[in-house]
Structures are given as C-alpha cells and as structure tokens.
Amino acid sequence: MMSLSGVSGLIETHKAVRANRGVAPGCRRKQLLRGLLVLLLAGLAACTGPAPVRPEPPATVPAETQDTPAEVQEQVREPARRESAGVQVHPLQNPAVKAMLAEAGQAESQGDYDRAAGSLERAMRIQPRDPEVLQAMAEIQLHKQDYEQALNFATRSYDDGARVGEICSRNWRTIGVARGHMGDSSGAAQAELRAGQCMNTKPASY
Amino acid sequence: MSPGSGTIYFMATSNRNGSAARKINQPVPGRGWSGGIWRLLLLVFGVFLGLLVPWALYLDYQVTSEFEGRKWDLPSRVYARPLELFPGERLARADLELELKFAGYRSSPAADKPGRYHVSGQTIDIFRRSFQFPEGTEPPRLLRVILADDSVAELVDLKAGQAMDIARLDPAEIASIYPLQKEDRTLVRASEVPTLLLTGLQAVEDRHFKQHPGVDLSGIFRALLANLKAGRTVQGGSTLTQQLVKNYFLSGERSVARKLNEAIMALLLEWHYEKVDILDAYLNEIYLGQQGDLAVHGFGRASVFYFNQPLDRLEPQHIALLVGMVRGASWYNPRRNPERALERRNLVLDVFAETGLLSAAEAEAAKAQALDVTENPQGSGSQYHAFIELVRAQLAQTYRESDLKSAGLRIFTTLSPVEQEKAQRAVTAGVDQLHQTGLPAALQGALVLVDTMSGEIRALVGDRYPGREGFNRALNARRQVGSVIKPLVYLLALEHPESYSLLTRISDAPVVLNQPNGKQWVPTNYDEKSHGEVTLLHALTQSYNQATVRLGLQLGVNNLLHKLEQFGISVPIDEVPSVFLGAVELTPLEVTQIYQSIAAGGYSVPLRSVVAVQTADGGELVRYPLRLMPQTQREAIGVLNYALTQVVQQGTAKALPGLLGNSTLIAGKTGTTNDRRDSWFVGYTRDRLGVTWVGLDDNGPAGVTGSNAAMRVWAELFKDLPLEPVDLRMPDGAFWLWVDDKTGALTAQNCPGAIEVPFVSGSEPTTSTKCMAEASEENDESFWSKWIDRNP
C-alpha cells in the first residue's frame, strides 16, 4: 500500500533530534482524585513509569566530519571559471533569487550547509528551474558528501541550463566528482570529457 | 468545653468500646478533671496525627504532582508556508490581503504596530511581526509593497528607506495538535512577561503575594469587609497560590471543605517552591477562555487567542482585559460579552492607576481604547483538517503521537492558505454547478494541488463541503483511474526510440482478449467507433481505448506495472490487460505522485507536506529536504509532456482553454471509468500540478466523464491561479523537428502541413518531403542573393 505511508515513507531526514525535553506523561489528575489515602504509596510508585523513548529518525547523510570545501573550489568552480574565460553565458536573474544565492553562499562559507540548502530551496520556490540555483545545490550536496543528490541536482541544472560555458562545466565537473566518490570511475572520466566540451562554442548542427 | 459535654463524650466512647471504657472508668486517684483534659488532648492529637497528617500528605502529593507534571504538556503548532514577497512576483491585491488575514494581520488606519497593515490603492504597508523561522528569528519590519498589474512592482523597507529584493511574512498558524486533556497553552516565563502583567495581577488579585505563606488572612478579612459592605461577593480573598490550586482541580463546587483543602494545598505549594515558580505556573495555568472543547490556559496563549499578538506586544488596555478575565473567563468573554468585558477592563485600569502602576493619564488613555479583540482566534479554522491529516501521517514516520500532542513542536508545512481557500471554493462551487447541470446531488469531489518541481503540497481538499471532517477523499478514496493511466503506456513506447515516435502509426481496430476466467474482454472506444490507423499522438490526445490496448500488448502489462512502481506506486495490481485502460484503484494523492514525475520532466520527488520541525524553544531541527530521484530516459518524458499539451490543444480536454478564459500552454489528461462512475482530470502548468476527482462515494454510476466534471472543477481553481506555460525544452537526447503532419516525413518550417514535434534521439523520421528538398535549395539561393544584394 502506498497511500499516505508510501508517500511520506519516501521522506528521509538527515539529522537526528531529540525534540522532547523530558516531557513525562505525569500521573493524571483524574486518577489521583479517585485515589484514596491508602493508595498513596501505590500511586507514587505508578508515577515513576518509563520515560518516553524517542524513535531515532533515519540518518541518511554521514556526519559532516570530513569537510571538503576545497574539493568544490578546486575541482569544480576554479577549473570551470578558468576554461570559460571566452565563453560566458549570463542569463538574466531574478534579484530575489540572487539574494537567496548570496545568502546560501554566506552560509556555505560558514560551513552551515543545512542553512545554505534551506536558502536554495527558498530560491527554487521562486524560480524552480534556475540552473545556477540547482548547481549551487549540487555543490552544497558535495560538501555534505551526499554524492547521489549532488549528481542529481547537477544533472537537472544541466538539463535546464545553457548546456554551454561555465555553468555547463560546473555541472559536469560535479557529476564527475560525485561519480568518482560513488565508485563509478569510467562515468567520472566520461563526465570529465563532457566538461571539456562545454567550451565548444560550435552550435549544434541544423 | 463544659464538664458535661466531656462526660458525655467519654461515656459515649465507653459505650462503643468495651476495653477503652474499662480503662477510662478506672478511677485515677488524685488526677480528676485535669487527667480528663490531658486524655482529651492526647486523643485530639492522635486524631490529628492519624487523619490530618496523612490527609495533608495526600494533598501534598496531589498538588506537587500537578505542579511538577503538568506544566510541560504543550500542543504542537502547525504553520503554513510563509509568503515570499519579491519584485516581479505575481500577486493580486486580493490574494495578498487574504494571506495577511490568514496570518492574523489586521487592517488599520496605519501600519503602526507589528501585526497591522494598511492598504491605500495599490500600496500596502505591512508591519511584519517578528518570527522564529527554521533558519533563525527575523525581527519585526515595516514593509511597503507596491503592486501593479497583479504583480509586485516594488518592495521597500520603510524604516531603512531601501528597496528590498525579498522578504517573507510570518506564516499563518493553521492548526495545533492538542494534548489529550484538550488544553491549549503557550509557555511563558514570569521573567519574560511584561512587568505590568505581573504587578497588575498582584494589584488586582493578591497584594501581599510577596509576603504571605500561601494564604493571606488580612486579604480574606479585607474581602469579607468589602463583601459585607456591598452586600454581595465583590472581592475574593484567594491568593494567587490558592487560585492556582483551584485551577489544578477545577470544579464548580463551593464548599468550606474545598476551601480548606485549597488553603492547605496553597500552604504546601509555598512550602515546596519559590514564589517565582508559583508565579510561572500561575501564568501558564490560569483558565482564560474556551474554544469548542478546548480550554485556553495561561496568558501566553490567551494573548494570541484574543489579540493574535505575543504577550510582549500587548498594551496596558490588553493586559488589563486579560487580568480582568481571571475573575471569570466566560463571564467576561470579550467576544461574547464585550460590554461587560469593557467595564471590567476599565475597572482594572482604575486599579492600575490607584496602585501607581499607570499614571492617571495613561490609564485614561488606555480606557479610551477599543477592546481590540480579533474576530476569530488563530488556527481555529477547520478548513485545513484534510491537510493536517496528511501532516500527521508524514510526521508519524519520525514522531510518536504522544510527542506531537505534548512536546510543543513547531511544524513548518507547505500549505498555501490562499491556494487552499481557492481549491476548496473550486471543489464546492464546481460540484454544485455539476449538480445544477443534472448530475446527482450526492456527487463528491477531491483535489490535490502541488508545486510541480518540489512536490510540496499547496492545497488538499477531501470533501466538497468546506470544514466537514470525516472521509478524506484526497488521501483515502481509492478509485479506478481510467484513462489517466494511458500516458504511461505511451511513455513505455517512447522509451523504445528504435520502434516508436509520436508519429508511429498504430491500429485503432476492435480487439478481443481471452481472460483467465474464460470470458472475453472487448474494449470499445468512448464514441463506440474504431478509427483505423492513427498516430500514437492522435491515439493519446483522443484517448482511444482500442489503440491503447493494442499498443500496451506490444509493450507488456508487467512493464506498465514496473513503470508505476518507478513512479512511486506500490499497491498490488493484477497483471491483466485492462490495466492499460486504468482498471487500477488509486487515490488522488497517488495519481498526483505519478504525474509529478512527468510534470517535473522526470525529476521525481516524494510529495511533501512538512519541510521542518523544531522544538518549542526553537532548538533542534529536523529537516525534510528536497531530494531528487531522477527517472531514467527523461528524454521520453520530455516528449510525452508535449503530447499531453496536445490533449488540451486538440484532444479530449480542448474545452479547457475556454473554461479558463486563457490560452496558456497547459498539459493535461482526462479520465473516465466504466459506467461513468469516476471523473478524473490531471493538469499542470510549469509551476502547479492539480489532480481532481469527482464521483459518488458508493461507487455508483454518476454520469460523469473526465471533461464534463473533474476538468470543470480543475478549471474553477486554475482560472484563479497565475498560469505559467509548460516548459517544453527537451533534455539531452530529444529534440524538435519540423515534420509533415500527414506523412510524418521531415519537412521545412514554411512547407504546407509543417508541424513541429519532439523526437527521442533515434526515433526521428528518415524520409523528407519534396518541399523540404526544394526549400533547402531556395535557402542556399537566398543566402547568395543576400550577399550579392549587399555588395552591389
């Protein structure tokens, strides 16, 4: 059965919490009022029931212990910027989306990748298919070492993007890095090749 | 005590108890009366020890366990998605005002305080409240929104006098999930509430709170005098501590015994706890109102309940009203008995002035103010319960029901209050209209509206009657889907570019199938005709049954079932050919999940109603982030998207643009089941995917078809939403070509019968029209002639 449980069953959380701060379901008034003097001790005993146990939500993302901010910079952004010197595509961008990208960038530089992802989701609600936003999300996923999502967001950014120039190069470099981490070395090499073709300004055949 | 009574007492005792009588009647030489008194005292002491001490212990236990155990039972609050404001946003003034209303903002002559807004033509000033978003707290801010042509033209931070790129409103509180005892409260601390509330409470209710040990004899005396003087009860002598105890064990009973119990418990509480702890408990415990079967306890919640403002934003007149209500929350209910409440409030303001808490001028100014109570309490609407049911189901994956009800969680959801309002209106009005056109009166409807790309659920309607709780059809009505399933059959075909393109021809001729039960299955078309050789595109847009079954048989039922699974459906389905025509029972939510994958170009996401959950104090956060789950062969989905726009342009849904009064490019699919029992419509724009269902709860024939019923309900909603055309840019591996509409051969744009159609790489036509060959020669000529012309 899918229904509710199916739909929501697909939802995963990546941060364990203990939201419940010592909320003991205390003995209730009605029970107490019914209790007689002789039940005093018994009642006391009944009040020391087990504390609630919080089910731990599944953690799907490894803890952010091995931060690799250098990877995104050195293997994605920097080479893409270098190569694309002659091929620049500057699509008009919504100022609200730009503001959210800036906010995400700030959170990223502070190492707060959850907050960065939150800002990028806000940007996506405004402009769902902005390739810059999608690629920024892919890079945040690289930081978080969620390589599958990095791959998925980069692919989507490529599908919706210019498929040429710097953003294209960042797309394929991210895909390459992600595939490498996922053990797909031939896929990574292929992505490297595609990144190289992003600077090919020859238009597609007509 | 007279000697006589003492004697009688002893005699009575001796009569009852033989052994005691023997002892007592034994003469004690030389002790006489004094010995009797001594014995009496001993007995009284014994009785005291034997009864009063255990009784006090029992009361002690009762009152301390109440004190310790109850103060943390907090309902969880559920918030809608916050409205983002930014220049360029499509936002009609009426919609913005509706958003403000749902978020508890009040229209006033000036946006001079948080929670107020002022409209002047197309300029709306909003004093946004401070709010703790999952990402952090945003302070109050005075915003100016200037609208033009139903869009935000400018957004200004008025205080800084600067244009802004983006701002968000604090979200509407759409529901609370309550503890079992049906008590509603928001925790506050004595150290954090306005001083006037603390001092005012003591001035009115208990002037010796600081000094007394729980009971205030002088207070009782003073009240007694005042009451005698007035000839009726005008003052209570109960201390705040006694009132707190009374609130713990609310009962209408007024007896001396109860008063005595209260007094003992008050003394005990004071013995155990600090004054400030008692005050904390009082502030959160005192009964201040009622909403249905829900009791409002404490000043924190009462502030929101009556004024829709946090406690620290209240002004003296508001505080005075709440303090006055302590004496009788229903008697002085400002919504039901405004005059009585006003009188009481002003009396309290007088006391504030008498005791020097306010200057005379301040008190007079406060008395001149209106009651200022909101019309309806926040989050009281039942219009969200269908959505809340989904929220609870999603949260049940991570949280225990008891935690939702008592841990005071803050739940951030995806619901858009304005879209929910419009969606409910569309279902209610739409189904009413269907009834007026002759369809059954008992028709029911359901609707799901989601953000196409993120899968965030913006609205959910489970009943045609607004606010009615009960069967939630959007989540739970499991009905045959009919032709709504057909696009998946065509998708399977498009995934084989070596064999199929949209222009591949297929036979729409009668088909007879032998079923496992020995019977024959002979599907017919809606118009009872067969249409010969047709293209896949034509068969899909016209929803031909015979062509679809023939195509499906070439592809295999098992593959269709597998495709459903890839799109998030895991209900068990019989592997029979009738599945090609939608003999599958799914809920509207499940149908939405399937089409999300298509509408988002193959980037599937699980539908979400919750994005984050936070603890009551804004602490640890659980996020439910956006996670993409891409389908393989998205190029086939890209091509299918085009085909579904053609359903609206020229197929079974071609009446839709007329119903919408708008020709924006929309994709959609109609669905009807046997004997016209179910009517489905699935339609999407670039940003919104809506699924509507109409039918009878008893699954009887309803006379409905996809286009005569569900599509009308869908149009009823979407005509009130901003419409962005479906994005038909093809992904890698698919492209657009000009082809001849008759032969499907490649052609040139300016040739007769040229249409542009997308193809999955490998499925493109191999032949070309004569016109195209000529056109390319012409093109070459014109190229040269251009050069020649330019260079005379």
Residues A88-138: tens digit of each pLDDT: 555 667 899 999 999 999 999 999 999 999 999 999 999 988 999 999 999
Percent of chain A having pLDDT more than 90?
Answer: 43
Is the model's pLDDT at B747 over the cut of 90? yes
CB of B102 closer than 8 Å to CB of B111: no
Q: Which residue has the tokens 């366990």?
A: B65
Q: Put residue B37 in one of left, alpha, beta given phi > 0 → left and psi -120 to 50 → alpha.
A: alpha
Report the residue of A1, A11, A114, A160 to disrupt the B interface, i.e. the one with the largest count of B CBs within 10 Å.
A11
Report the residue of B67, B89, B251, B397 to disrupt the A interface, i.e. the one with the largest count of A CBs within 10 Å.
B397
Span B278-308, pLDDT tens digits: 898 899 889 999 887 788 889 998 998 898 8
Instruction: Name chain A contacts of B608, Cβ cutoff 8 Å.
Output: 11
pLDDT at B178: 77
Cβ of A23 within 8 Å of Cβ of B403? The answer is yes
**Which of A9-13, B50-54, B161-165 is predicted with the least confidence, judged by mean pLDDT?**
A9-13
**Closest by Cα among A135, A131, A143 to A175:** A135
pLDDT at B381: 57
CB of B631 closer than 8 Å to CB of B602: yes
Cβ of B390 within 8 Å of Cβ of A152? The answer is no
Is the model's pLDDT at B420 over the cut of 60? yes
Distance set, CA B240 to CA B263, B266, B772 (Å)? 11, 9, 94
Query: A60 to chain B nearest CA, in Å?
Result: 11
Q: Which residue has the tokens 């004899």?
A: B217
**Which of A187-196, B260-269, B447-456, B687-696 is predicted with the least confidence, judged by mean pLDDT?**
B260-269
Q: Long-range contacts of range A161-165, CB-CB < 8 Å, 24 or more positions apart?
A: A161/A131, A161/A134, A161/A135, A162/A89, A162/A91, A162/A131, A163/A198, A163/B732, A164/A87, A164/A89, A164/A198, A164/A199, A164/A200, A164/A201, A165/A84, A165/A87, A165/A88, A165/A89, A165/A198, A165/A199
pLDDT at B53: 80
From B176, B483, B578, B609, the catalytic residue: B483
Instruction: Name chain B contacts of A22, Cβ cutoff 8 Å.
Output: 72
Q: Long-range contacts of range B374-379, CB-CB < 8 Å, 24 or more positions apart?
A: B374/B104, B374/B106, B374/B306, B374/B307, B374/B308, B375/B335, B377/B291, B377/B304, B377/B305, B377/B306, B377/B308, B378/B104, B378/B172, B378/B173, B378/B304, B378/B305, B378/B308, B379/B77, B379/B78, B379/B172, B379/B173, B379/B174, B379/B175, B379/B176
Instruction: Name chain B contacts of A7, Cβ cutoff 8 Å.
Output: 394, 568, 589-590, 593, 606-607
List helix spans (H) across A65-184.
69-71, 78-83, 95-109, 113-126, 131-143, 147-160, 165-181
Tally Cβ neighbours within 10 Å of residue A56. Answer: 11
CA–CA separation, B202 and B193 (whole Å): 14
Query: A40 to chain B nearest CA, in Å?
Result: 7
Q: Which residues have a Cβ under 8 Å from the Cβ of A56 and sit 6 or more positions away? A: A16
| Chain A with chain B: Cβ pairs closer than 8 A | 205
Identity of the residue numbered A188 = A
- Taking CA–CA distances from A53, the nearest residue in chain B reads B400
Q: Is A90 on the interface with B (CB under 8 A)?
A: no
Report the residue of A5, A12, A15, A20 to disrupt the B interface, i.e. the one with the largest count of B CBs within 10 Å.
A20
pLDDT at B60: 84
Pick the more confident residue, B54 or B239: B239
Percent of chain B having pLDDT more than 90?
Answer: 57
Span B335-340, average pLDDT: 93
Q: Among B68, B399, B623, select the one facing A15 at the smallest CB separation.
A: B623
What is the token pair recorded at A40? 């005093």
Is the model's pLDDT at B603 over the cut of 80? yes
Query: A71 to chain B nearest CA, in Å?
Result: 22
pLDDT at B379: 57
Instruction: Name chain B contacts of A133, Cβ cutoff 8 Å.
Output: none
Distance set, CA B499 to CA A103, B270, B536, B736, B741 (Å)? 49, 86, 12, 18, 19
Span B707-717, average pLDDT: 93
Identity of the residue numbered B17 = N
> Residue B156: beta bridge partners?
B144, B163
Is the model's pLDDT at B613 over the cut of 60? yes
CA–CA separation, A163 and A175 (whole Å): 14
**Closest by Cα among B694, B659, B661, B656 to B431:** B694
Q: Which residues have a Cβ under 8 Å from the Cβ of A17 and sit 6 or more positions away? A: A54, A57, B613, B615, B620, B621, B622
Q: Among B66, B88, B476, select the one facing A29 at the smallest CB separation.
A: B66
Cβ of A26 within 8 Å of Cβ of B620? The answer is no
Cβ of A19 within 8 Å of Cβ of B613? The answer is yes
Q: Among B390, B620, B729, select the one facing A19 at the smallest CB separation.
A: B620
- Give catalytic status of residue B483 as yes or no: yes
What is the token pair recorded at A138? 């892919």
Q: Among B452, B569, B627, select the one facing A2 at the smallest CB separation.
A: B569
Is the model's pLDDT at B787 over the cut of 90? no
Query: A148 to chain B nearest CA, in Å?
Result: 9
- Taking CA–CA distances from A59, the nearest residue in chain B reads B622
Is the model's pLDDT at B33 over the cut of 60? yes
pLDDT at B88: 93
Band (pLDDT 50/70/90 cuts) for residue A37 is very low
Q: Among B593, B613, B731, select the one facing A7 at the smallest CB separation.
A: B593
CA–CA separation, B550 and B493 (whole Å): 12
- Taking CA–CA distances from B589, the nearest residue in chain A reads A3
Rounded (5°) CA angle A91-A96-A101: 75
**Which of A175-184, B563-572, B781-790 is predicted with the least confidence, judged by mean pLDDT?**
B781-790
- Taking CA–CA distances from A122, the nearest residue in chain B reads B84
Query: B733 to chain A nearest CA, in Å?
Result: 10
CB of B631 closer than 8 Å to CB of B568: no
**Which of A83-92, A119-128, B684-693 is predicted with the least confidence, judged by mean pLDDT?**
A83-92
What is the token pair recorded at A55? 């089910």
Instruction: Name chain B contacts of A117, Cβ cutoff 8 Å.
Output: 623, 625
Is the model's pLDDT at B122 over the cut of 80? yes
Query: A149 to chain B nearest CA, in Å?
Result: 7
Tally Cβ neighbours within 10 Å of residue B582. Answer: 25
- Give catalytic status of residue B205 as yes or no: yes
Is the model's pLDDT at B446 over the cut of 80? yes
Pick the more confident residue, B383 or B567: B567
Identity of the residue numbered B176 = S
Band (pLDDT 50/70/90 cuts) for residue A6 is very low
- Taking CA–CA distances from A56, the nearest residue in chain B reads B398
Instruction: Name chain B contacts of A100, Cβ cutoff 8 Å.
Output: 166
Cβ of A125 within 8 Å of Cβ of B407? The answer is no
The residue count for chain B: 792
From B205, B389, B635, B716, the catalytic residue: B205
Span B689-707, average pLDDT: 89
CB of B629 closer than 8 Å to CB of A152: yes
Query: B791 to chain A nearest CA, in Å?
Result: 27
Cβ of B135 within 8 Å of Cβ of A14? The answer is no
Rounded (5°) CA angle B173-B176-B182: 145
- Taking CA–CA distances from B85, the nearest residue in chain A reads A96
Band (pLDDT 50/70/90 cuts) for residue B81 is very high
Span B747-756, average pLDDT: 92
Query: A174 to chain B nearest CA, in Å?
Result: 16
CA–CA separation, B589 and B692 (whole Å): 10
Is the model's pLDDT at B312 over the cut of 90? no
Band (pLDDT 50/70/90 cuts) for residue B773 is confident
Cβ of B69 within 8 Å of Cβ of A26? The answer is yes
User: What is the pTM assigned to this prediction?
Assistant: 0.78
**Which of B219-233, B488-502, B622-636, B741-755 is predicted with the least confidence, judged by mean pLDDT?**
B219-233
Instruction: Name chain B contacts of A43, Cβ cutoff 8 Å.
Output: 61
Band (pLDDT 50/70/90 cuts) for residue B778 is low
Is the model's pLDDT at B217 over the cut of 60? yes
What is the token pair recorded at A22? 């010592």
CA–CA separation, B644 and B682 (whole Å): 10
CA–CA separation, B418 and B660 (whole Å): 19
CA–CA separation, B198 and B283 (whole Å): 9
Cβ of B731 within 8 Å of Cβ of A159? The answer is yes
CA–CA separation, B619 and B626 (whole Å): 21
CA–CA separation, B89 and B102 (whole Å): 19
Q: Which residue has the tokens 């009588």?
A: B21
